[in-house]
Amino acid sequence: MKRRLFPIFLMVAFLISNLFLKSAAAAQTKVNITGLNQEYVQGSSPTLYLTTTGVKGNVRYNVLLVDLVSGKKIDLTKGYSKPIKSNIKYSVKLPKLDNGYYRVFAYVKGEKSKTKYDGYAYKQFMVFVKDMNISKTGNYGSNNEKYFQTVKGNINITGNNVIYNNAVVFKDVFVKGDNVTLNNVKIEGKLVLDPGKYGKAYLNNISAKEIEVLSGASESIYLNNVFADELKVEAENKVRIVTDQKTNLNKVFIQSALIFENKDANIGNVEVNTIDDNIVEFRGNFDTEVKVTSSAYIKTSENSLIKEIKLVPENSKSNIILEANIKNLTISKDSALEIKKNSNIEDAIKVEANATIKADKEAKINKIEITGANKNVKIEAKVDTLEIKAESKIELVNVEVKTLVASSKGEVLTNKETKIEKIEGSKKDEVKVSGEGQLASKDKDSKEDNQSSGGTTGGSTGGTTGGPSGGSTGGTTGGTPVIIPVSSIDFDEIGVVLNKNDELNLNCIVHPLTATDKRITWDSDNIDVISVSNGKVNAKAVGEATITAKTLDQKVKKSLKIKVVDSGISLIVKKESGKISFLVKSAYDNDIITMKVLQDGNIKYIDQIQTGKNYSKVSTMLDKGKYIVYVKGLNSDIISIEFEY
């Protein structure tokens, strides 16, 4: 029995040792791919070269080309190649490449190897388009949101009913076709919309430095989740632009007739420079300043409101017509203002320059303040309160004023139809009123009220400063030092993913800035993953750790969760000047990083960045809320992190 078992044992031992040797050999087999660049222009047909180390003698290669956008595979060698010495370059020519993203897989095995392969390697690259001209109806761009089409030149769309998806355009995009839709496109230059007098355009998830509208219909341009530094409207006909709540426009410049419909978008300053027969109608609430630099006709729809209008016309003879609901209006340069009957000035008209204000009696004006010194102001309107804050000459024609408040001396000329019901204020005795207007008697109690007010102010100031002539230092020195505690701690960083062995200095902000003791202690709940010293974190191993900054008394603290990966990518999400900034770097030179920001599964921002071993930054404006950002490089896996803004 023992004699029978011994040969079997020898055979099993031989097979195991042989398998072990093959596995060890396979583990040492390495394929080297050379000759491929990170990117090519569309239509290129590059050649790659293969050599192998770790194997003696002849080897065979199998090379696959994978289109990452469509998922299609091409077997370039049609199975394994003929044997070739491992140290001799084996060349493979790629077919003409369309735009997109590709990955080449090279498999190798020894000439007599029975395994599927002994080793493999892969490389990824991108194929870009120089310029695009789209003249026919259809879908264009990339159909995969993970891999954007890259266009390093301009795009010119002249065809109707075109849909263009998922792209990064390094220069400008010109839309001249009707009913064109752009989805998920980042434009480094300008987007020009000129679809014709009756044309339409739809923009979804678009970012551009500038958007210029040259034409369109009254139901024409729709902006959904659009980010632009400037929107400029200079159309030959009246255009309607509709913005949704996810749209961010830093500046809007209007030079032609427009219906501007805002559905809670984030809109920066608006400038109107038109002529008075071109009506600019605002629909919705505009929580921003609208600056008028020329003659203009400003209108709002029912239940709409403009927070502030500022008149700064370049020509002193400019005529501005308002048929609008406005919170505040400021006349900063010489102007002639006409207010229509459907208008309502909720707070005040502030007059800083020479002005003529004429309003229909049905128009509602809460208050007019004269704030510019030595100005000539003519008013023909019904107003609840007229306040003189700077010495000026005021002419009232057919004016009904409930209260004239004299906070400064001045001259008021009235005609017979003018009626002032009440005059009050600290300078009421220094206001010279003349003319045939109906004037009320001056308030006798105002002087006493003013003296009482002055006494209270003086006493309060004296008590605060430690004496009638003391300063703030004197008051503090005279008593117990005031201890100002820390109320809160904050980080600029709101999301961090670090590659292993990377370092980062966290920017910690203590509130209030006048706090007596702003010293901070730092802790990490997992020092094997991340260590921290004086705000400097060191990513030691893959995993997660929470970094906490605390005051010395431990009463106030702030924590930040940091993820450590080994993919070659580092990502920092920061709050900067009302925007969210994304800083990303790669362990690979000239890497192309694709980034996507989602909220509740909806794309809020998409970008593509070329970076290397130093951080590159992009910024955008986001609404308050919770987000998740996904980042992927050409040769790295997807990383993600959640953040709240």
pLDDT at 220: 85
Q: What is the CATH T-level fold of the domain 2-127, as seen in this structure?
A: Immunoglobulin-like (2.60.40)
CA 371 vs. chain centroid, Å, equals 37
Least confident range from 137-141, 497-501, 585-589: namely: 585-589
Q: Using the 8-state DSSP alphabet, how is residue 316 labeled?
A: T
Identify the band that residue 276 occupies on the pLDDT scale cut at 50, 70 and 90.
low
Which range, 185-194, 504-513, 631-640, is most confident? 185-194
Q: Using the 8-state DSSP alphabet, how is residue 441 labeled?
A: P
Cis amide leading into 485 (omega within 30): no
**What is the C-alpha to C-alpha distance for residues 636 and 227, in angstroms, rounded to an integer?**
28
Q: What is the per-residue pLDDT across 164-174, written as a single tens digit (0 to 9) for each?
A: 999 999 999 99
pLDDT at 482: 62
pLDDT at 445: 43
With a cut of 80, say whether residue 5 has pLDDT above it: no
pLDDT at 127: 95
With a cut of 50, say whether residue 479 has pLDDT above it: no
Percent of the chain with pLDDT over 90: 65
Instruction: Assess contact for 176 and 154: CB atoms under 8 A.
Output: no
Instruction: Assess contact for 571 and 587: CB atoms under 8 A.
Output: no
Identify the band that residue 623 occupies on the pLDDT scale cut at 50, 70 and 90.
confident
pLDDT at 635: 76
Average pLDDT score over the chain: 86
The CATH number of domain 488-644 is 2.60.40.1080:
yes
Listed as own residue / partner, the contacts of 298-307 with beta carbons closer than 8 Å and 24 or more positions apart are 298/272, 298/322, 298/323, 298/324, 299/323, 299/324, 300/324, 300/325, 300/326, 305/346, 306/282
pTM equals 0.68
Query: Could you give the C-alpha distances from 62 to 88, 104, 371, in angstroms and in order?
Result: 16, 11, 83
Identify the band that residue 23 occupies on the pLDDT scale cut at 50, 70 and 90.
very low
Identify the band that residue 516 occupies on the pLDDT scale cut at 50, 70 and 90.
confident
First to last CA, the chain: 77
| Mean pLDDT calculated for residue range 119-131 | 94
pLDDT at 1: 45
With a cut of 90, say whether residue 464 has pLDDT above it: no
Q: Using the 8-state DSSP alphabet, how is residue 468 labeled?
A: T
Percent of the chain with pLDDT over 70: 89
Retrieve residue 487's tokens. 């109320």
With a cut of 70, say whether residue 536 has pLDDT above it: yes
Question: Which SS3 state, helix, strand or coil, does residue 360 take?
Answer: coil
The secondary structure element, H or E, covering residue 477 is helix 472-477
Q: What is the per-residue pLDDT across 519-532, written as a single tens digit (0 to 9) for each?
A: 899 999 999 999 99
pLDDT at 151: 96
**What is the C-alpha to C-alpha distance for residues 488 and 486, in angstroms, rounded to an integer?**
6
With a cut of 60, say whether residue 474 has pLDDT above it: no
Q: What is the per-residue pLDDT across 401-454, written as a single tens digit (0 to 9) for each?
A: 999 999 999 999 999 889 998 899 998 888 888 888 777 655 444 433 333 333
With a cut of 50, say whether residue 202 has pLDDT above it: yes
| Mean pLDDT calculated for residue range 154-161 | 96
| Mean pLDDT calculated for residue range 536-549 | 94
Cis amide leading into 195 (omega within 30): no
With a cut of 90, say whether residue 84 has pLDDT above it: yes
pLDDT at 8: 45
pLDDT at 592: 85
With a cut of 90, say whether residue 384 has pLDDT above it: yes
